DNA sequence: AAAAAACATCCGTATTTTCCGCAAATTTCA
DNA sequence: TGAAATTTGCGGAAAATACGGATGTTTTTT
């Protein structure tokens, strides 16, 4: 079985260990790493290749938002689940705007966190009910259009003709798609897109 | 909207025209061609690229079976819907064994034929209820294994290592996959495989 | 049991496509 | 007004694909 790879980011070793224990009890989850407020977040993500990043940072709330923005824009295949003691509406909204997939209050149960991780992995966002959200693709409209044509057996040149852009521009979109989905090949991108529900 | 491309093969021009009229009334279907008992079936399939081939041949029953076998083995992306006036059990069974996706008796209604075409297009076989059938992949086990790894972002070399075969052999399987699914690229193969239900 | 068909394995060569790095102008939107 | 998106170019290495050819095994058919 393919497990959900989870990276934990936090400040409190004790709390992070507790979360790790909680998640390791689940047969479909694996904590591949736990790092303290990272200075090299990109490297950590590249190393651990997490499907889910659980951020548990009681302080430095601005930093959290910056991290989330960076992750969701540069590594959208790693989905952020925010675990916070502060659940005022503005903050929750800011976390969502930043691109996180879930917001779980520390007042919630462990089941809530686990459920939020599974849902995020499936591409479904989980936020407090008082906010209405839409699931967004991490890809832009143009990237999605390109990806769709890739899945329909088109070459970059053909895609360029069809979308009235140059072959070179298509190549650029393709490389953005590969980076965002964290794959090496267009075939891998198509596979991942179907599994993530981006295509059907 | 992407229409279902249909090629009609038959002996009786009048009947074929009637079928064409029936099918053209459906907004999601397009009859891309109609040929009499073809001498160059391969060429016709390559030209018309049909999703569905409706065979309506009252005579030469052996030929029908041979055609179906050739189509299903060499061009499995074109699914055969057999339209026959002869619906004795042995013949229905032979048609199924040959690799057709549906068997419709001429005693049936037009709706039955249209439904059978849509189901076949989705990869679901339609045969008289007295026979039990299983949907089969047109790909061999090895080809399916290769295709799965392609969808998981692997290169041919990586696939070779993983399956303990040479890169060359992988290339051979890939070309078989492309031919059978009638696509030009591995990315197109992955897209088609997901849509046909070969992968998930 | 023998013949035929399908499957799996391997190799060479030539061409096409993909993918990456570097750089930069224009548009769009919050 | 910045940040993100879109657009395009050049050049080059790597991967994929097409086109041939060859051999042994397994399965199916006769």
Which residues numbered 15-54 in chain B sit less than 7 A from strand C, measured from CB?
Answer: none
- Cβ of residue B124 closer than 8 Å to a chain A Cβ: no
Q: Which residues pair with residue A82 across a beta bridge?
A: A55, A103
Question: Which residue of A151, A153, A183 is in closest CB contact with B153?
Answer: A183
Residues of B within 8 A of A152 (CB-CB) are: 188, 191
The predicted-structure confidence for A25-56, as pLDDT tens digits, reads as follows 889 999 998 888 767 777 888 888 899 999 88
The predicted-structure confidence for B88-141, as pLDDT tens digits, reads as follows 656 777 787 788 888 888 767 788 888 889 888 877 777 765 443 334 446 888
Q: Which residues pair with residue B95 across a beta bridge?
A: none
Strand order in B102-105's β-sheet?
A: B29-36, B4-10, B52-56, B79-84, B102-105
pTM: 0.51
Residue B43 makes CB contacts below 8 A (sequence gap 6+) with none
CA distances from B13 to B18, B56, B145 (A): 9, 10, 44
Which residue is closest to A198 within chain B, CA to CA? Answer: B191
B172 CA to D22 C1' distance (Å) = 14
- Cβ of residue A54 closer than 8 Å to a chain B Cβ: no
The predicted-structure confidence for B27-63, as pLDDT tens digits, reads as follows 899 999 888 876 777 788 888 889 999 988 765 666 7
Asked if A185 CB < 7 A from strand C, the reply is: yes
């Amino acid at each position: 079985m393919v497990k959900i790879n989870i990276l934990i980011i936090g400040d409190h070793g004790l709390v992070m260990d507790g979360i790790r224990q909680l998640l390791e009890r689940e047969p479909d989850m694996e904590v591949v790493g736990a790092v303290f407020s990272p200075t090299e977040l990109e490297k950590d993500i590249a190393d651990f290749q997490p499907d889910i990043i659980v951020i548990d940072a009681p302080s430095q709330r601005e930093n959290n938002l910056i991290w989330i923005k960076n992750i969701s824009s540069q590594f959208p295949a790693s989905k952020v689940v925010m675990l916070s003691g502060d659940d005022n509406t503005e903050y929750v909204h800011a976390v969502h705007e930043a691109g996180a997939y879930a917001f779980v209050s520390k007042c919630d149960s462990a089941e809530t966190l686990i459920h939020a991780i599974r849902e995020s992995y499936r591409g479904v966002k989980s936020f407090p009910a008082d906010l209405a959200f839409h699931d967004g693709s991490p890809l832009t409209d143009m990237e999605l259009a390109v990806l769709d044509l890739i899945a329909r057996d088109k070459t970059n040149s053909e895609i360029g003709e069809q979308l009235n852009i140059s072959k070179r521009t298509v190549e650029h979109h393709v490389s953005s798609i590969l980076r965002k989905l964290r794959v090496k090949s267009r075939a891998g991108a198509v596979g991942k897109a179907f599994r993530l529900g981006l295509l059907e």
